[in-house]
Structures are given as structure tokens and as C-alpha cells.
């Protein structure tokens, strides 16, 4: 793990953390009470070539890209289930011997906003509806 300052390429503000997962892996963690009104966890990151694990307590939580900035992607994870509980939040770049799995992370925050899950497009829904309609007509003819 390396602490980057503004002169060395911090994403935003004075400092960012660089989790260098090449070889041994790296993580950063903090324990405290997650605020009672929390719905989501947001963080800015410059992704590495491998995975990043975000865990609340011992549970890895999925996260999705929710926006982009000049030199980062904004990610969000739904952590409403842990609101108002004492837990550790851990960011880990697992060991990867084939790629430099370096994740630069900044601006970790709790939010009352809900992370929207991706929804199917109108084309996908129309195609599924057409297939179901066609299957029903085919079954009715038999």
C-alpha cells in the first residue's frame, strides 16, 4: 500500500491510497459504526488490472460504476443492511502474480442515496416479451 499525495498523482484533494495487489495483495480497513441513515457506500477509484474486494464485516459486497470523473470512476455499493451497526469496511486488491493489480482509491463516503441496479434495456425487454408471446402461440397450436 502506498499513500499518494497531490504531487504524486492523488485522484482528488491531497491524498489517495494505492493498493498494490501484485504479489502479496494489499488492503485498507477501518472499523466504526456505520451511520444509521446509510444506504450506500461510494468511492472514487482508478481501477487496476485485477479485482477489488469491498467487504463490510466478513461479507464481500458487490459494487457498480455509477459515474466518471476526469481521472477516476465513481463506484457505489448497497450497504443499507449494515446501517447503524459497528462493522469494519475493507478494500482489498487480492494477490495477482500475472498483473499489477493496483487500485488507487479516494473519497470513501457513506450516503443516504441508493445505488441503482442496472436495468434491462427496452430492446431486451421487447425481445423477451416477443419470445414469450411466440412460445405461447406455438404451444396453443399444438
39-57 per-position pLDDT tens digit: 999 999 988 888 899 999 9
Tell me: the pLDDT tens digits for 71-118?
A: 899 999 999 999 999 999 999 988 877 777 888 999 999 988 776 555
What CATH code would you report for 2-141?
2.60.120
Helices (H) and strands (E) counted in the chain, each on its own, are: 1, 10
- What gap in Å lies between CA 142 and CA 139, rounded to an integer? 5
- Structure confidence at residue 12 (pLDDT): 76
pLDDT band at 131 (very low <50, low <70, confident <90, very high): confident
Instruction: Give the contacts of 58 (CB within 8 A, at least 6 positions apart).
Output: none
- What gap in Å lies between CA 14 and CA 107, rounded to an integer? 11
- What gap in Å lies between CA 124 and CA 49, rounded to an integer? 30
Per-residue burial over 66-101, b = 16 or more CB atoms within 10 Å of its CB, e = otherwise: eeeeeebeebbbbbeebbeeebebbbbbeebeeeeb
Q: How far is CA 94 from CA 11, 41, 67, 84, 102, in A?
A: 21, 20, 24, 28, 10
Task: Tell me the pTM.
Answer: 0.72
Query: Per DSSP, what are the bridge partners of residue 76?
Result: 42, 64
Amino acid at each position: 500500500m502506498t499513500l499518494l499525495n497531490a504531487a504524486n498523482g492523488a485522484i482528488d484533494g491531497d491524498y489517495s491510497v494505492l493498493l498494490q495487489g501484485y504479489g502479496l495483495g494489499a488492503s485498507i480497513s477501518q472499523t466504526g459504526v456505520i451511520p444509521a441513515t446509510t444506504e450506500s457506500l461510494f468511492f472514487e477509484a482508478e481501477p487496476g488490472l485485477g479485482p477489488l474486494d469491498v467487504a463490510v464485516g466478513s461479507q464481500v459486497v458487490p459494487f457498480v460504476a455509477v459515474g466518471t470523473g476526469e481521472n477516476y470512476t465513481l463506484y457505489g455499493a448497497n450497504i443499507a443492511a449494515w446501517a447503524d451497526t459497528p462493522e469494519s469496511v475493507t478494500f482489498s486488491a487480492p494477490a495477482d502474480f500475472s498483473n499489477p493489480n493496483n487500485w488507487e482509491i479516494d473519497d470513501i463516503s457513506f450516503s443516504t442515496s441508493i445505488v441503482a441496479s442496472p436495468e434491462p434495456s427496452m430492446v431486451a425487454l421487447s425481445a423477451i416479451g416477443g419470445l414469450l408471446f411466440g412460445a405461447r402461440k406455438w404451444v396453443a397450436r399444438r
